[in-house]
A and B are shown apart, each in its own frame.
Chain A
Amino acid sequence: MTEYFEVLDRDGAARLGELRLSTPVRTPALLDDVLADSGSQWTADQPLPEGDDDRLTILPHRSLPAGTREEVRDAFATEATDVDFPSAAVVSSESPHELGADAYILSDAAGFVGHGEGLKNAIVRAKDALPADTAFVLSGVATPVNVATLVYAGVDGVDAKLAKVKGSQGMYLTNDGEAFLEDLDELPCACPACQQPREEFGQADCIDHNVNALRAELRRVRERIRAGRLRDYIEGQARHDNWLTAAFREFDSQYSYLETRTPVVRNNELAAATSDSLRRVEIQRFADRVTSRYTNRFDNPLVLVPCSARKPYSDSQSHGQFHDVIAYRGHTVSMTSPIGVVPQELELTYPAQHYDSVVTGRWSEDEKEFVAAVLRRYLDRNDYSRVIAHVPEHGYRDIVERVDTDSPLEFEYTVDGHPTATDSLGNLAAALDGELKYGKREREHNTVKAIADYQFGPDAGDQLFGDIEIRTTGRYPKLQVRDNDGEQLATMVPQYGMLAMTLTGADRWVDSDAPTKVVEIDGFVPHGSVLAPGVVDASESIRPGDEVVIRGPKAFGIGRAEMSGFEMVESTRGVASQVRHVRER
Chain B
Amino acid sequence: MSKPSPEVYEDGRGMDAHNSVMREIRGLKEKHYDPHEPTRVWVDEDNTPGGVYESLTIILNTGGCRWARAGGCTMCGYVAESVEGGTVEHEALMDQIQACLDHEENNTDEPADLIKIYTSGSFLDEREVPAETRRAIADTFGDRERIVLESLPDFVDHDKLTDFTDHGLDVDVAVGLETATDRIRKDCVNKYFEFSDFEDACATAEEAGAGVKAYLLMKPPFLSEREARDDMVESIRRCADVEGCHTVSMNPCNVQQYTMVNELFREGGYRPPWLWSVADVLERTADVEAIVVSDPVGHGSDRGAHNCGECDDRVQKAIKDFDLRQDESVFGQVECDCERTWELVIEEETSYAMPLAR
Chain A positions near chain B (C-beta within 8 angstroms): 37, 40, 42-45, 58, 61-69, 71-72, 74-80, 90, 95, 97, 105-112, 114, 139-141, 159, 161-162, 164-165, 168-170, 203, 207
Contacts and interface: CB of A to CB of B under 8 A. Distances in A.
> What is the interface of chain A mostly: helix, strand, loop, or mixed?
loop
Contacts of A170: 337
Contacts of B357: 165, 169
A140 B348 contact: yes
Contact of A67 (B183, B270, B356): B270
Closest 10 CB pairs of A and B: A140-B353, A67-B267, A65-B269, A66-B269, A75-B17, A77-B4, A63-B351, A139-B353, A111-B268, A67-B264
A74 B13 CA distance: 9
B174 to A, nearest CB: 25
Contacts of A45: 183
Interface in B214-248: 221-224, 227, 231
Contacts of B18: 72, 75
Contact of A61 (B3, B188, B268, B352): B352
B99 interface: no
A74 B8 CA distance: 9
Contact of A76 (B8, B20, B270): B8
Given A42-B183, A76-B14, A165-B344, A67 B4 contact: no
Nearest to B13: A75
19 contacts: A40-B227, A42-B184, A43-B184, A61-B352, A65-B221, A66-B267, A71-B17, A72-B14, A72-B260, A76-B8, A77-B2, A77-B3, A79-B4, A80-B4, A90-B352, A110-B269, A139-B353, A161-B348, A207-B344
B300 to A, nearest CB: 17
Given A69-B263, A165-B344, A168-B344, A111 B184 contact: no
A170 B341 CA distance: 10
Contacts of B13: 75
Nearest to A40: B351
A69 B16 CA distance: 13
A75 B223 contact: no
Given A110-B353, A161-B353, A169-B341, A72 B269 contact: no
Interface in B41-94: none
B21 interface: yes
Contact of B340 (A106, A139, A203): A203
B332 interface: no
Given A108-B269, A110-B356, A111-B268, 20 more contacts: A40-B350, A42-B351, A43-B183, A43-B223, A44-B181, A63-B350, A65-B351, A67-B267, A67-B268, A67-B270, A69-B263, A72-B18, A75-B16, A108-B267, A139-B350, A140-B356, A141-B353, A161-B353, A164-B348, A165-B356
A110 B352 CA distance: 9
B133 to A, nearest CB: 37
Contacts of B345: 165
Contact of A71 (B21, B224, B264): B21
Chain B: number of interface residues, binned into ranges: 35 or more
Contacts of A76: 8, 14, 17, 187
Nearest to B222: A42
B233 to A, nearest CB: 13
B73 to A, nearest CB: 14
Nearest to B223: A42
Nearest to B74: A72
Contacts of B224: 40
Given A95-B1, A140-B354, A111 B267 contact: yes
B307 to A, nearest CB: 11
Contacts of B1: 74, 95, 97
Nearest to B265: A67
A90 B352 CA distance: 7
A139 B2 CA distance: 25
A78 B4 CA distance: 6
A72 B263 CA distance: 12
Contact of B352 (A68, A71, A79, A105): A105
